[in-house]
Amino acid sequence: MISGPNRFIRLTAAAAIALVLAACGAKQVVVQGNFPKPLMEKTPLTLGIVYTESFANHEIYDEAAGREETDWLVKTGDAQVDFWDTLFGGMFTRIVHIDSHDALHAVERDVDAVIIPYVEDLQYTIPLHTNVKVYEIWMKYRFRLVTIDAIHDHGNGELTYDPNQSLADWTLSAYGKTPTAFLQSDEEAVNLAAVVALRDAGANFATSFHRVPAVAEWLDTKNTIKELPAPQANNEGNGVSDDSESVSL
Amino acid sequence: MNRALRTLPHRTANCRSLCYGSALTFLVVLLQGCVTATVDEMTFLEPTEGIGDSSVVILGRRHAPDYETEFDFIECIGDHIRRGDNSITVLHELEFINMMYPWFEPRTAPLNPQDIDRLLMQEPVANQFTDIKLEYMIWIDGSTIETNSSGSMTCGVGPGGAGCFGFGTWGNASDYEATIWDFTDQTEVGRISANTSGQSYMPAVVVPIPIIAPVQGTACDSLGDQLLDYLSATR
C-alpha cells in the first residue's frame, strides 16, 4: 500500500506522464453543429437520398509529418448526414432515405429522382501548417442525380446503381475558415471551420442546383424550374458522367 | 448631407499606484494603453424621428480571403446601440444569418443594395423580411490586426515560487467601415469609417503587468456612437 508523500509523488508523476502522453496522441474532432433549414421555396419533387457508407462515416486521418506535429482525425460523417438532411428537407417537398432493400421497394413509385452525395476530397490547415492565424477546411463534393430505376437491389442487402442512368453528375466545392481566438483549442477551431464549410456547401448547392445544366434540363421536362438569385461561385463539372460500370452504394 | 471628419485622441492610461496586494489585480485591469481614433462620417436621409418599431441588423463582411470581420466586434456595436437607445431593435447577427440561411453566407450575401431585389423574388425570404420589419441593414467591413511586437520575457518556476522578468510591447490597428443600407428604398444612405491604433505594453518584474490599449473597443465605441447618432431620435 502506498501512503503519505510517496503516494502524492507517484500520483503527480502519473498525472504528468498521462499529460505528456495525451499531448503526443492524435487530435480528434467529431464535427458537430446546429444547421438551419434553408429559407426558400421548395422544389416540388420527392427526392430519394442515398448516403453511402463512406459518406455517412466520412473521416480524414492525417499523419503527423514531423515531431512537432500531431496526427489528426477529423470525423465529418454524422455532421454531413445531419446537415444534408436538413438542407434537402428544406429544398424539396419530400425526401426519403434509401438505405436498404425494403426502403427501395417502399418508395420506388413515389420518388422523382435519387441524389447520391460523395465527399471527394477534404483538406484542412491549421496555423502550425501555414503560419497564418486561420483554421481552414476545404471540401469537394460530387453529386449524382439518378433515376430510381438506376438503383438495383441484388437481394443480398447490397444496392448498386448504373451510372449510365444518371440524370446529372456534378461537383461543387466548399470552404470554411475561422480565425484563431483566445482560449479556443485547435479542435474547437477545426470544428468551427468544418461547420462553416458545410454551411458554405449548402449555400453553394441551394443556389446552384437549378443551374446545373443537366439538372435544369431534367427539371424543365418536369416543369419545376424556379428562378433563383444568381450564385456568386461557379459550378465545377456540370456534365453527365460517362462512367459505364455499376457502382456499389 | 452631413459630413464630419473628427480625430479623437483617447488617453485612457491610469497610473495609480496602490500598495495593497489585493488591489493590484484590480489595477492591472484598469491599466490601459493609449489609443488614437479617426472617425470619418458621411450620411444622409437620417431618420429624424427615429426608426419606430422597425428593426436594424448589423452584419460583418466575411467574403475576403485574408480577413473577416469579427463576430464579437459586430456584437459590441449592437450592444453599444442598444445601450444608447433601448427603443432601437438591433437584431442579433447570428440569429439573422441563421434565419435567412443560405442568403447571407459569405458566398451569397448581397454586395450592394440592388441585390436585395433578387432576394425578395423568393417569397419565403420576402415574408421573413416583412415579419422582422427590417428598416436598415448595416454592413461592417474590416478587422483588427497586430502591427508590430518586440521585447522578451522570461518566466520561471522554482521551489520558492514563480516569477517573470522582461518587457514586451505590441501594436494593434483597427480599420472598419460601416455601410448603411436603407432596406425599404434599397439605397445606400451612409458610410462611417473608424481607424484606431494603439500600443500595448507588458513590463514584468516578478508579476507581469499588462497595459493594454483597447484598440478594437475604441473602434467599436466610435462606430457605435456615430451609428447611434444616425439611428436614434433622441440624440
| Per-residue confidence (pLDDT) for residue A245, from 0 to 100 | 46
Give residue B235's pLDDT.
61
A40 reaches B (C-beta below 8 A): yes
CB of B197 closer than 8 Å to CB of B171: yes
CB proximity A211 to B under 8 Å:
no
B35 contacts B197 by C-beta, under 8 angstroms: yes
pLDDT band for position B82 (50/70/90)? very high
Query: Which one of B108, B119, B128 has the shortest CB-CB distance to A232?
Result: B108
Candidates A39, A84, A132, A198, partner chain B, best to mutate (most B CBs within 10 A) = A39
Q: Please say if the pLDDT value at position A153 is more than 80.
A: no
Q: Are A96 and A48 in contact (CB under 8 A)?
A: yes
**Range of the structural domain that residue B117 is part of:** 2-231
Q: Which domain holds residue A48?
A: 26-248
d(CA A201, CA A141): 8
Contact B99 A36 (CB under 8 A): yes
B170 and B180 Cβ atoms separated by less than 8 Å: no
With respect to residue A4, please indicate whether it lies within any of the assigned structural domains.
no
- A:B CB pairs within 8 Å: 59
- The answer on pLDDT for B9 being more than 50 is no
Which residues face B156 on adjacent strands? B163
Nearest-CA distance from B150 to chain A in Å? 18
Task: Nearest chain B residue to A180 by CA: give it.
Answer: B70
Flag whether pLDDT at B5 surpasses 50: no
pLDDT(A236) > 50: no
Best of B69, B70, B73, B105 to substitute, by most chain A Cβ atoms within 10 angstroms, is B105
pLDDT digit string, tens, across residues B176-185: 999 999 998 8
Residue-level pLDDT at B8: 40
pLDDT, residue A13, reads 60
Asked if B98's CB is within 8 angstroms of A203's CB, the reply is: no
Q: Which of B101, B118, B119 sits opposite A38 (nearest CB)?
A: B101
Residue A94 placed within a domain: yes
The number of domains in chain A is: 1
pLDDT value of residue A234: 39
What Rg, from alpha-carbon coordinates, does chain B have?
21
A213 touching B (Cβ < 8 Å): no
Q: What average pLDDT does the structure give for chain A?
A: 81
**pLDDT at position A65, please?**
77
pLDDT, position B22: 58
| pLDDT score of B16 more than 90 | no
CA distance, residue A53 to nearest chain B CA (Å): 27
Answer whether residue B10 shows pLDDT above 60.
Answer: no
Interface of B with A (CB under 8 A): 68, 70, 98-103, 105-108, 115, 118-119, 121-125, 128
b vs e for A20-49, b when ≥16 Cβ sit within 10 Å of the residue's Cβ?
Answer: eeeeeeebebebeeebbebbbeebebbbbb
**CB contact (8 A) between residue B68 and residue A179:** yes
Strand order in the sheet with A151-153: A151-153, A159-161, A247-248
Centre a 10 Å sphere on the Cβ of residue A179 and count the other Cβ atoms it contains. Answer: 18
| CB contacts, 8 Å: A179 with chain B | 68, 70
> Residue A41 is nearest to which of B106, B115, B123, comparing CB atoms?
B123
Q: Which residues of B touch A233 (CB under 8 A)?
A: 107
- Residue A143 inside a domain? The answer is yes
Measured at the CA of B41, the angle between CA B58 and CA B200, to 5 degrees, comes to: 75
Pairing of strands A134-146, A59-62: unpaired
CB contact under 8 A, A232 and B99: no
Q: Quote the number of domains for chain B.
A: 1
Minimal CA separation from A102 to chain B, in Å = 34
- Rounded CA separation B225/A147 (Å): 59
Residue B102 to residue A202, Cβ atoms within 8 A = yes
| pLDDT recorded at residue B25 | 57
Instruction: Please indicate, yes or no, if residue A102 is contained in any of the structural domains.
Output: yes
Classify each residue of B127-160 as buried b or exposed e, where b means 16 or more C-beta atoms within 10 Å of its C-beta: ebbeebebbbbbbbbbbbeeeeeeeeeeeeeeee
Alpha-carbon distance of B127 to A183, in angstroms, equals 40
Predicted confidence band of residue A249 (pLDDT cuts 50, 70, 90): low
Residues of B in contact with A202 (CB under 8 A): 101-102
Phi, psi dihedrals of residue A136, rounded to the nearest 5°: -130, 145
Q: CB contact, 8 Å: A199 with chain B? A: yes
Q: Do B101 and A227 touch (CB under 8 A)?
A: no
Q: Which of A178, A184, A232, A235 is the mutation pick for testing B, counting most B CBs within 10 A?
A: A232
- List % helix, strand, coil for chain A (3-state, nearest 5): 35, 30, 35
Average pLDDT (A106-116) is: 88
Question: Residue A199: its chain B contacts at CB < 8 A?
Answer: 101-102, 105
Please say if the pLDDT value at position B13 is more than 70: no
ipTM: 0.79
B65 Cβ contact list (under 8 Å, min separation 6): none
Q: What is the mean pLDDT of residues A209-228?
A: 83
In a domain, A217, yes or no: yes
**Taking a C-beta distance cutoff of 8 angstroms, is the pair B219, B168 a contact?**
no
Residues in A touching B105 (Cβ below 8 Å)? 199-200, 203
What are the pLDDT digits (tens) for B131-148? 999 999 999 999 999 999
B102 CA: distance to closest CA in chain A (Å) = 5
What is the average pLDDT across A12-19? 58
Confidence bin at A171 (pLDDT 50/70/90): very high
Mean pLDDT in residue range B32-55: 85
Around Cβ A169, how many Cβ atoms within 10 Å? 22
Sheet containing strand A43-49, edge to edge, reads A92-97, A43-49, A113-125, A134-146, A166-179
The pTM (predicted TM-score) of the whole model is 0.81
Predicted confidence band of residue B190 (pLDDT cuts 50, 70, 90): very high
pLDDT, chain B, mean: 86
Dist CA A60 CA A63 (whole Å): 10
Could you tell me the pLDDT band of residue A244, with boundaries at 50, 70 and 90? very low
Nearest to A200 among B68, B105, B123 (CB): B105
Does the residue A8 lie in any domain? Answer: no
Give tens-digit pLDDT for A16-72.
Answer: 555 555 555 688 999 999 999 999 999 999 999 999 999 999 998 888 877 777 888
